[in-house]
Structure 1
Amino acid sequence: MGQSAYRTHYATEVTEAEIGKDVTVSGWVDRRRDHGGVAFIDLRDQTGLVQIVIYDEEIARPLRSEFVVEIKGEVRARPDGNENTHLATGKIEIVARDVTILAKSEALPFQVSTALENESENKLPGEDTRLKYRYLDLRRPAMQRTIRMRAKMSKAAREALDEMNFCEIETPTLIKSTPEGARDFLVPARLIPGSWYALPQSPQLLKQLLMVSGFEKYYQLARCYRDEDFRADRQPEFTQLDIEMSFVDQEDVMAMAEKVIANIWKSAGFEVKLPIPRISWTDAMNKYGSDKPDLRFGNQIVELTDYFKNTPFRVFQNPYVGAVVYKGGASLPRRQFDAWQEWAKQRGAKGLAYVQFEEDGNLKGPVAKNLSDAERNGLKEAVHAENGDAVFFAAGRRETSQLLLGAVRVEIARRQGLLKPDEFALTWVVDFPLFKQADDPDDDDVAVGHSKWTSMHHPFTMPSADWIDNFDQDPEHAMSDSYDIVCNGEEIGGGSVRIHRDDIQNRVLKVLGITPEEAQEKFGFLLDAFKFGAPPHAGIALGWDRTAQLLAGVGSIRDVIAFPKLGSGQDALTGAPAPITDAQRAETGVDYDPDEDED
């Protein structure tokens, strides 16, 4: 494995079997220690560390941290009592005979030594500095592990899909702008002034064309681009495992995806029990206040709309009232309940009503005095609380209130230490609505038509079998043939059965307010292809960055991407995006005015 011009072995290949033999190793000086004229060097390469012993002071003197060196020497057993059980090479060391400095290193802006791995992450510099010097940050063992883990994920996915006879096909990244829910990144076409390419938000239309092409089973690790507003944990470019199949239904896709997911988790050292459980979108919202529920813990939302139907309390005289129990929360000081109010306001709520069940059974808190005697007496049983618990309430529009309570539920679990990163609760969320309100104040996606409706997933999602005939007559309640895979409160993938009949597609586009002329202009190439025999098809895409983040147990997707952007969308390493010269601007044709040609 290690044979090359600069080495006979990688660091961790030097074992007790090599004792007495000459070896050549190359890498970085991870750490240096001097003891009475003898220097000990920890040499680091991509496999790990090996200890080098240098008896010649003249040879050792120039060596500094992160120098790149080639070392030739003899392997020997470490003296009794000097073994390091924490290292794979802890029973041996290499006595250096020749040391060649291949490259020197200046003083680092921050330390990357393996010896610092168990120290607090707080000793690292800010993320801006880490990303500016990303090539140094990537030397850290933690970063090496996550990036290599991600590579194993890709291999595992390919192995599973290859075994099921899928074909890996690359689709173009310069395409036509099509409506998929977010803003496109646009690229000027220099040779056709006034025209533009778009970078794909996903390969959605292209993979559907591959189904028309007869490939039947397609996948790729696809690069995707979305020009979204800045968000802390989003990237303008990202990767997804994109999969499409012909002559299948929802059950076929989910069964296939479970095999892939199980193999991916196995590659990271975890087991997934199959089949993965399911929950409907309606139940997920009612019980957990989220369409991506975190099921590592219980504590379901309790609906109290009927309980308070005759309430004298004006705040609870709303279409929906719900509650979440905070176990042991009654003993929290008032300042913490005040902090919860601010927490709720930061999420767009007016506040967060609450009561406390004291240990003696008394009910206190701002809401308590506004309730009737009957409401007070039966509340503990209604919400399944006990003495010593607190209860948070939300009232108003059903979905808005549920989303707030869902966030409360997760925040309580976080404060109680229930969100363990090495535990995985996977679930399918199924039975999604086909449409949603286009003017939803919580949705900043770009509407694709001129209707009050937009697609819950995308415009090419098949209505469920029960709604095929009348989805356009009652779009508010119409359901779709779609599914999401969720893990630990994060959506890691989503898919649907696609529309392959032009009559259904035209009706969906009409609901979305997309005229036939607009449809032909935006994605006529897909609609035209469907006229030549489109098979029933369906697919799914897994968010690769988010999945890697979950499996690595890190706090940000930026920690599983080799060269990520900052939350602002900027590249701290290269300085992108950056201005272009006047000459470049003129060459691109971005200022092209067709009226000038007419003149």
Structure 2
Amino acid sequence: MYRTHTCGELNIQAVNQTVTLAGWVQTVRKFGSITFVDLRDRYGITQLLFGENLNATLDNQPLGREFVLQVTGKVAERSNKNPNIATGEIEILVDSFKILNKAATPPFTIQDDTDGGDDLRMKYRFLDLRRAIVRKNLELRYSVNRAARNYLHENHFMDIETPFLIKSTPEGARDFVVPSRMNAGQFYALPQSPQTFKQLLMVSGYDRYYQIVKCFRDEDLRADRQPEFTQIDCEMSFVEQEDILNMFEGMVKYIFKTVKGIDYNETVQRMSWDEAMWTYGNDKPDIRFDMQLLNIKSVFKVNGEIKADGSLLNGVDFKVFNDAETVLAIAVPGIAEYTRKQIDELTEWVKRPQIGMQGLVYIKCNADGTYKSSVDKFFTEPQLKAIADAARAKAGDMVLMLAGLEERTRKAMSELRLELGNRLGLRNKDHYKLLWVLDFPLFEYAEEENRWVARHHPFTAPKPDHIDIMIQNDPEIRDAANYLQHPYANIKANAYDMVLNGNEIGGGSIRIFQRELQEKMFAALGMSTEEANHKFGFLLGAFEYGAPPHGGIAFGFDRLCSLLGGSETIRDFIAFPKNNSGRDVMLDAPAQIDQKQLDELSIQLNVK
């Protein structure tokens, strides 16, 4: 027997017991004729005391960091207790020990405040995984996984596996493809999601399906993306949108309670996509704080007057506002006391290439009722007050304004709002706020291709009262400059996203389940009948054999874990992640394969 106990379970009740522990040496501290060793395993750390009788042996067999060690000894009460660890009241008086394996000196210290950088730790990820902070992340991931499975099981969902080697149907992100040796010149694709399979399972009568499943997308990476990622993938038959929302609100609340001990009893707010875009500037708003975006372009009335309703005279010549497509404002609470240096920092922030604005206009609403602005020479104080009132500012607030093209300005103001939320401490990682965003556009217009593309995916159903618009109208865009006037621009999807603290954690829709409507959808996306049958004939055919109404949702499992763990990157919650170039630096993958393999696969490389 290598061990009778783990390094995290012994406490004061175990004093005088003889035990055997095994683990890795964390630290060695020699004090004259005695030596203290911290022994670590997955469960914790226990202090070992080597007395005088073993010191000579240690001199001949010195211990090093990360040596694998087995010890037997008696549990004793510590004189210098450590309240920060579960075993901090005891130590082991070692009677005998055995070095099970020696270790080279690690390239970084294996502790929470390590001296290893990201690249080094990813190269030696098997060592990084020994750190307690990383282990806790994976323990949280397992807890989320287990909680989701328990909830879905209790609600009669079946875990059904679907294939990883499928057919490439490129719509949206690029597929990863896999060559077939037995079918020369042909390729499988790795699934971007099990979308069509879960719909087929609904046709097959398995009315509540789920998987916690790997998905693959060949995308450019960032903190919340990996080429392979995990979804909690779910589908239900004979449901409407309300059924889906209620079921999966329940699942997330169950995870909060089980994993974090949080009773999330408040009603989950719902917001249309239009409201989210106009009020917050993006479709996954962080509603933990207010600071809503307000379009104050209408405040500026050319050749107008200051009226009783507070609208602003624009006899002044301030072309930045007068000529802009839009003028957006936010009232930031309590920062009227910002110094010129702090305001200049914000101005430089919005000028960064990632934000792309020319400048920032501010109005300070001072506590004494006066107004101070960066555009004092253009506006009188009553006019500044009118702008501040239009922005719903109060005494002590500062109004920040951006002007320019609609889309760019809205995106920039959304980013500025989030940045200020961070700076003012309004985005507390321990404060969770859920939101449903509903009624997305069904289509987006791709200018380069002069055609409609699916905003979610081509199996998303229109809202029931918009189906006739889709059936009765031709999708062709004859006037690209006025595509917003096309009937398809106003079709809303029967789709929904769940947002947590400004991050999309899940998204889904009610699906199309009639062949005629699905064919209409494919045609709207520019697919010929032949192409639709080639790519999705199996699904269209299935719809002819009694497909039920159905819908579902998929949660970004890695992202949900990272948010519950208070991290900004999903890599912290994946055992063996890729870097931002999509490489596994530990395995050095992707890598070349030898010519024999290429020949077997009938592949000839043309690398430039």
Please confirm whether the aligned pair reaches a TM-score higher than 0.5, indicating the same fold. Answer: yes
State the match for 1:67 in structure 2.
67
* SS of alignment partner, residue 32 of structure 1: strand
Residue range with higher mean Cα deviation, 203-212 or 373-382 = 373-382
Q: Is the 8 A contact 1:156 1:263 kept in 2?
A: yes
Retained in 2: the 8 A contact 1:322–1:402? yes
The amino acid that maps onto 1:510 is A
Cα distance, 1:391–1:590 mapped onto 2, change above 3 Å: farther
Q: Is the 8 A contact 1:451 1:512 kept in 2?
A: no
Structure 1 Cα separation of the partners of residues 341 and 130 of structure 2: 44
> Matches of 1:331 and 1:26 in 2, distance apart?
59
> Is 2:228 the partner of 1:237?
yes
SS of the aligned residue for 1:514 comes to coil
Identity %: 44
When residues 59 and 287 of structure 1 are mapped into structure 2, their CA distance, relative to the original with a 3 A threshold, is farther
**How many residue pairs were aligned?**
571
AA at the equivalent of 2:419? E
Return the alpha-carbon distance in structure 2 between the equivalents of residues 372 and 175 of structure 1. 67
Aligned to 2:294: 302
CA-CA distance at 1:366 after TM superposition: 4.5
C-alpha RMSD over aligned residues: 2.2
State the alpha-carbon separation in 1 of the partners of residues 170 and 464 from structure 2.
Answer: 25
Give per-residue Cα distances to partners, 1:9-39, cap 9 Å, x unaligned: 1122223333222111111111222223111
In structure 2, do the counterparts of structure 1 residues 437 and 375 end up closer, same or farther at CA, with 3 Å as the change threshold? farther
Corresponding position: 1:326 with 2:322: no
Q: CA deviation at 1:456?
A: 1.5
Residues 61-101 of structure 1, C-alpha deviation per residue, up to 9 Å, x if partnerless? Answer: 4112211111111122224xx22222212222211111111
Tell me which amino acid in the other structure corresponds to 1:90: G
Q: Contact 2:224/2:559 (CA < 8 Å) preserved in 1? A: no
- Tell me the CA shift for residue 506 of structure 1: 1.7
Which of residues 356, 363, 377 in structure 2 aligns to 1:356?
363
What pairs with 1:142-541 in structure 2 (closer than 5 Å)? 142-269=133-260, 270-310=262-302, 311=314, 312-316=317-321, 317-334=323-340, 336-344=342-350, 345-357=352-364, 359=366, 363-371=371-379, 375-439=383-447, 451-471=450-470, 473=473, 474-541=487-554
* CA deviation vs aligned residue, 1:381-425 (integer Å, no higher than 9, x gap): 111224554322233444433222111110011111222111111
1:330, distance to aligned residue in structure 2 (A):
4.5
Cα distance change, pair 373–95 in 1 and its aligned pair in 2 (3 A) = closer
Structure 2 unmatched runs, 5+: 303-313, 474-486
Change (3 A) 1:505 1:282: same
Which residue of structure 1 lines up, in the alignment, with residue 586 of structure 2?
Answer: 573
Partner of 1:139, secondary structure, is coil
**Match for 1:76: what amino acid?**
A
Q: Which runs of 5+ in 1 are unaligned?
A: 441-449, 594-599
**Aligned-partner SS, 2:413:** helix
Shift of 1:184: 0.6
Distance across 1 between alignment mates of 2:522 and 2:143: 41
Structure 1 window deviating more from structure 2 (549-558 vs 353-362): it is: 353-362
SS of the residue aligned with 1:532?
Answer: coil
Change (3 A) 1:381 1:274: closer
8 A contact 1:340–1:352 mirrored in 2? no
The verdict on how the C-alpha distance between 1:478 and 1:315 changes in structure 2, with shifts beyond 3 A counting, is farther
Q: Which amino acid aligns with 1:22?
A: T
The aligned residue for residue 596 of structure 1 is none
Deviations 1:103-153 (A, max 9, x none): 11111111113xxx3x5xxx5322111101111111111000000110011
Distance 1:330 1:295 in 2: 23
**TM-score scaled to structure 2, two decimals?**
0.89
Task: Tell me, in whole angstroms, the C-alpha distance in 2 between the residues paired with 1:156 and 1:364.
Answer: 54
Cα distance in 2 between the residues matched to 1:338 and 1:21: 66
Q: Tell me if structure 1 keeps the 8 A contact 2:365–2:388.
A: no
In the alignment, structure 1 residue 104 sits paired with structure 2 residue 102: yes
TM-score (norm 1): 0.90
Q: Note if contact 1:357-1:386 (Cα within 8 Å) is conserved in structure 2.
A: no
Aligned to 2:85: 87
Q: SS of 1:484's equivalent?
A: strand
Deviates more, 1:571-580 or 1:350-359: 350-359
Quickly say closer, same or farther: Cα 1:89–1:231, change in 2 above 3 A. Answer: closer
Q: Which amino acid aligns with 1:223?
A: K
